[in-house]
Amino acid sequence: MSKQNGYGFNLDARYNRPYSEDGELSYGLRVDNQLSNSDYNRYYSKDGGITYDSIDILRTYHFKGAETGVNGDVNWTHRWGGFTLSTGLGIGGDRIGYNYQSEMPFADDSTLYFLNVRPSIHLTYRTESMHNWKLNYSMRMSHPGEDQISTFRRYGDDSYSTGNPLGLKNAYTHNVEAGWQKFFERFGNIGLEAYGRWSTNEISRLTDAEYDDYLDRIVSYSMPYNMGTSWRYGTSLNMTYRPTGFFNVRLYANLYDYGYRMEYDRNGVHQVDQRDKWSWSVRVNAWAKLFDRLQVTASANYNSPTISLMSERKARYFLNMGLRSDFFNRRLSVFVNVQDIFNWGAKIGSGSSNTNPYYLSDSTRKMLNSRYISAGFTLRFGKLELERQAKEGESETGDSLE
């Protein structure tokens, strides 16, 4: 039996000060505070925990956590004709405190402090012929979380995970984007984007196996490390075809290369692991109105196999459809939606493979309830003008007709 409780609050304040018709300064401040208090009592004995074995003790502990963050930012925006330049700088600090209490010798009571810096710059250009251009850069710092720092061991049946307080540093991520978008009066819009992301000191868990004195057998364990660098660069296409007010199709396609290079020491031997893989995804949404009464939607999505740090995710895909019709001047609406029409989630499923050379594993997850049908109706009373505008806008996105 586990008991968990906690609460938190955040305060946001922002002041915008236009200094001219073309420029503005913005100042922001945010304060967050989160507290948690949890008991994890996992007794499997039949006498309510009066007698239990060592495994029960390993999985039983009390946790108290507190995290406080103070973040401020300054942003400047200025416009010159069709150009708009926005720059920003955010600075903040986080205080993380945690206390693991346990009968085993893994108790951990610590408080750590982190500094965050977030610079960014964005440049856009718009023409009278409805061409939009953009160029963006941003940098983010991310510090390790409590579960990645604490030396407390979180045990499962045949495994445990723990943190790495001495070996983790802040991770840095640089993002660059360049894009073009063109809007047409009758066709719709089309856009191209190129992007790149480069991360250093990226944190990931390394899984290995060892003999554990407490479980008295060989088990797997995981610990986070600053594994090295990773990158992702690619291009995307987005297009909306809207020849009439009764039909539109939206397409989003993405092609990218993801790779990483990790360096770490294992049993005193320096190891290097480098991989990369090209992946792609396609998402299509279609919406049509037939006979001025029946609305039809269809959405299809495909994601090719994709790697991440020491793992590879299998392909994922689905096809959904929906119908909706309105009656009595839209006072009554009836809808039917079918999720995963061909039941691919249950027949084929998805999953991932652990590519750690020292702990290889493969898993496939199949959803028993992947395909399902939902139906319903809506009765409306009063004035419908505002509701009609909202629903028509939602329908054109190609979402389910509910």
For every residue of 296-359, DSSP letters joined together read: EEEEEEEE--EEETTEEEPPEEEEEEEEEEEETTTTEEEEEEEESTT-HHHHT-EEEEE--TTS
pLDDT tens, residue by residue, 179-204: 999 998 888 899 999 999 999 988 88
> What's the pLDDT tens digit per position in 50-59?
555 556 777 7
Residue that the structure tokens 């802040």 belong to: 170
Give the chain's length. Answer: 402
Count of beta carbons in the 10 Å neighbourhood of residue 334: 14
Q: Which amino acid belongs to residue 258?
A: Y
Q: Which pLDDT does position 17 carry in this prediction?
A: 94
Contact criterion met (CB below 8 Å) for 266 and 358: yes
Residue 56: closest CA among 99, 104, 5, 3: 104
Q: Please give the pLDDT value at position 359.
A: 64
Residue from 326, 303, 297 nearest 397 by CA: 297
pTM over 0.85: no
Q: Per-residue confidence at 139, pLDDT binned at 50, 70, 90?
A: very high
Structure confidence by residue, pLDDT tens digits, 240-281: 999 887 899 999 999 999 998 887 776 778 878 888 999 999
pLDDT in tens, 23-40: 999 999 999 999 999 887
Nearest to 196 by CA among 137, 284, 140: 137
Q: Residue 83 forms beta bridges with which residues? A: 80, 125
Instruction: Place 42 in a pLDDT band, splitting at 50, 70 and 90.
Output: low
Pairing of strands 108-126, 361-365: unpaired
C-alpha to C-alpha distance for 46 and 44, rounded to whole angstroms: 7
Q: Domains, the chain, ranges and CATH? A: 2-395 (2.40.170.20)
Separation of alpha carbons 165 and 110, rounded Å: 10
